[in-house]
Amino acid sequence: MPDKGLLIILSGPSGVGKDTVLDYVNSENENINVSISLTTRTMRDGEENGLNYYFVTREYFERKLNEDAFLEFAEYGGNLYGTPKAPVDDMLNKGRNVILKIEVQGAEKIRKLYPDCVSIFILPPSLAVLENRLRGRCSDDEESIQQRLLIAKEEMKRSLEYDYVVINDDLKKAVGDVVSIIAAEEFKTSRNKNKIREVMNYE
Amino acid sequence: MPDKGLLIILSGPSGVGKDTVLDYVNSENENINVSISLTTRTMRDGEENGLNYYFVTREYFERKLNEDAFLEFAEYGGNLYGTPKAPVDDMLNKGRNVILKIEVQGAEKIRKLYPDCVSIFILPPSLAVLENRLRGRCSDDEESIQQRLLIAKEEMKRSLEYDYVVINDDLKKAVGDVVSIIAAEEFKTSRNKNKIREVMNYE
């Protein structure tokens, strides 16, 4: 156990499989909590309040914004999305590891607030594979797919700002890679000063 | 595969189980080469030339010293020990990971020569456990055991200079921890710039 929990940022372009990787990592490592964001968008079929998101009213979200309750927030398609600060700090202080699934701008903000955090960018094996995945999963028209790919490319360029890159070619391997990264970070000397002191504390 | 092989330094006090950890790590990860040192000491029963060490004459060792063929060397109990440079660089350039088992002074030198290296210090769960292990394994007298413990404590203080600390409480877990560290280091963004370029290289 490290001295304090790790804050882990997970990013990657739309279609790369972040959610699936995250689900498996979460089920494989019992010391991980996934941070649940708040959103003002409508709940979709199959979604659950408190599992995928906390679904709240715009009025509630804006009140929380005024109370400075978010680590970061953004507006997409007329809906607000935000990462609540208190539960993240609470879990970290209890020594638990917390994963935030977040896009590149949000990651930039979190990195400034938590310079000690660990950031992982999930890449597709190639842009061609990402394009196929996007075509396979959405019923969008050609223009909209091209638009998504353009955004994906811009995001992927920013993978260089992350501590680690994991290529999601094989899901099982990608999950294992993320689990290894989290495990290794727990052995960083800088995170284990109390433990080293304990070992040495014997005359 | 990273752009270039990793150089991994493994250190720890006498009695902590470095050799056993190293043997298992070596057999679990096929992309690891353990660097074999040269020594002028006599081969012991059960040792093999080219497996534990290259056993050489003092004349040969000194010739190699003059040729600047060592990354680092040291003299203990009248015998010379040195890490040869050429095979390490050769393996790294081929993209293979190389582990050096080395003591703290040697590690300091290697870190200056290869600032990109990854250093791991193996700690015992406590000094009491280390003392028990030392008593169990050697037929040394009390004074000699106290001397070894004193050296161990000095070395363990320097664990703070290492990137990672792994506690060898349970051998299997310690081996898994070292394997995770090596795996995670291979995903460092700084080591994967070529790969990121490859993924992006599609218009």
User: pLDDT tens across B78-101, in order?
Assistant: 999 999 999 999 999 999 999 999
Mutation target to probe the A interface, by most A beta carbons within 10 A, among B154, B158, B161, B164 is B164
The model's pLDDT over A80-104, given as tens digits with 9 standing for 90+, comes to 999 999 999 999 999 999 999 998 9
- Using CA atoms, how far apart are residues A5 and B163, in angstroms rounded to an integer? 18
Would you call A166 and B187 a contact, using CB atoms and an 8 Å cutoff? yes
Q: Which residues of B touch A149 (CB under 8 A)?
A: none
Q: What angle do CA B179, B182, B185 make, to 5 degrees?
A: 145
pLDDT of residue A61: 97
pLDDT band, very low/low/confident/very high, at A1 (cuts 50, 70, 90): very low
pLDDT of residue A47: 86
Mutation target to probe the A interface, by most A beta carbons within 10 A, among B119, B189, B201 is B189
Q: Which residues of A touch B163 (CB under 8 A)?
A: 188-189
Would you call A189 and B126 a contact, using CB atoms and an 8 Å cutoff? no
The answer to whether A39 and A53 are in contact (CB under 8 A) is: yes
- What stretches of chain A show up as alpha helix (H) in DSSP? 18-28, 58-66, 85-93, 104-113, 127-137, 142-157, 171-186, 193-200
How far CA A120 is from CA of A177, B36, B65, B94, in Å, comes to 10, 35, 44, 26
pLDDT band, very low/low/confident/very high, at A51 (cuts 50, 70, 90): confident
pLDDT of residue A81: 93
Question: What average pLDDT does the segment B33-39 reach?
Answer: 93
- Write down the ipTM of this complex: 0.84
Backbone conformation region of residue B100, classed left if phi is above 0, alpha if psi is from -120 to 50, else beta: beta
Would you call B200 and A127 a contact, using CB atoms and an 8 Å cutoff? yes
Query: Is the pLDDT reported for residue B164 higher than 70?
Result: yes
User: How high does pLDDT run on average in chain A?
Assistant: 91
- Using CA atoms, how far apart are residues B203 and A179, in angstroms rounded to an integer? 32
The model's pLDDT over A156-169, given as tens digits with 9 standing for 90+, comes to 999 999 999 999 99
Question: What average pLDDT does the segment A5-29 reach?
Answer: 91
Would you call B189 and A121 a contact, using CB atoms and an 8 Å cutoff? yes
Residue B193's SS3 state is helix
Would you call B196 and A160 a contact, using CB atoms and an 8 Å cutoff? yes
Helices (H) and strands (E) counted in chain A, each on its own, are 8, 9
Closest CA to A100 of A74, A76, A78: A74
Question: What average pLDDT does the segment A16-42 reach?
Answer: 90
Among chain A, residues having any CB pair with chain B shorter than 8 Å are: 120-121, 123-128, 153, 156-157, 159-160, 162-167, 177, 179-181, 183-185, 187-189, 192-193, 195-196, 198-200, 202
pLDDT of residue B51: 86
The model's pLDDT over B119-130, given as tens digits with 9 standing for 90+, comes to 999 999 999 999
Q: Which residues of A touch B167 (CB under 8 A)?
A: 195, 199
Query: Is the pLDDT reported for residue B186 higher than 70?
Result: yes
pLDDT of residue B1: 47
Would you call B127 and A199 a contact, using CB atoms and an 8 Å cutoff? yes
Report the share of chain B in percent with pLDDT over 70: 96
Q: How far is B53 from chain A (nearest CA, A)?
A: 30
pLDDT band, very low/low/confident/very high, at B138 (cuts 50, 70, 90): low
Residue ranges and CATH numbers for the domains of chain A are 7-200 (3.40.50.300)
DSSP B48-78: -BTTTEEE--HHHHHHHHHTT-EEEEEEETT
Closest CA to A202 of B151, B153, B167: B153
Q: Which residues of B touch A129 (CB under 8 A)?
A: none
Would you call B189 and A157 a contact, using CB atoms and an 8 Å cutoff? no
Run of H or E residues at B80: strand B79-84
Compare B40 and A201 and report the one with higher pLDDT: B40
pLDDT band, very low/low/confident/very high, at A77 (cuts 50, 70, 90): confident
pLDDT of residue B139: 65
Closest Cα in chain B to A154:
B200
Selecting from A164, A188, A199 the residue whose C-beta is nearest the C-beta of B126 gives: A199
Would you call A187 and B164 a contact, using CB atoms and an 8 Å cutoff? yes
Strands A97-101 and A7-11: parallel
pLDDT of residue A138: 61
A14-53 b/e (C-beta count within 10 Å ≥ 16 → b) = bbbbbeebbebbeeeeeebbbbbbbbbeeeeeeeeeeeeb
Compare A166 and B200 and report the one with higher pLDDT: A166
The answer to whether B39 and B55 are in contact (CB under 8 A) is: yes
Q: What is the pTM of this model?
A: 0.87
Question: What average pLDDT does the segment A120-128 reach?
Answer: 95
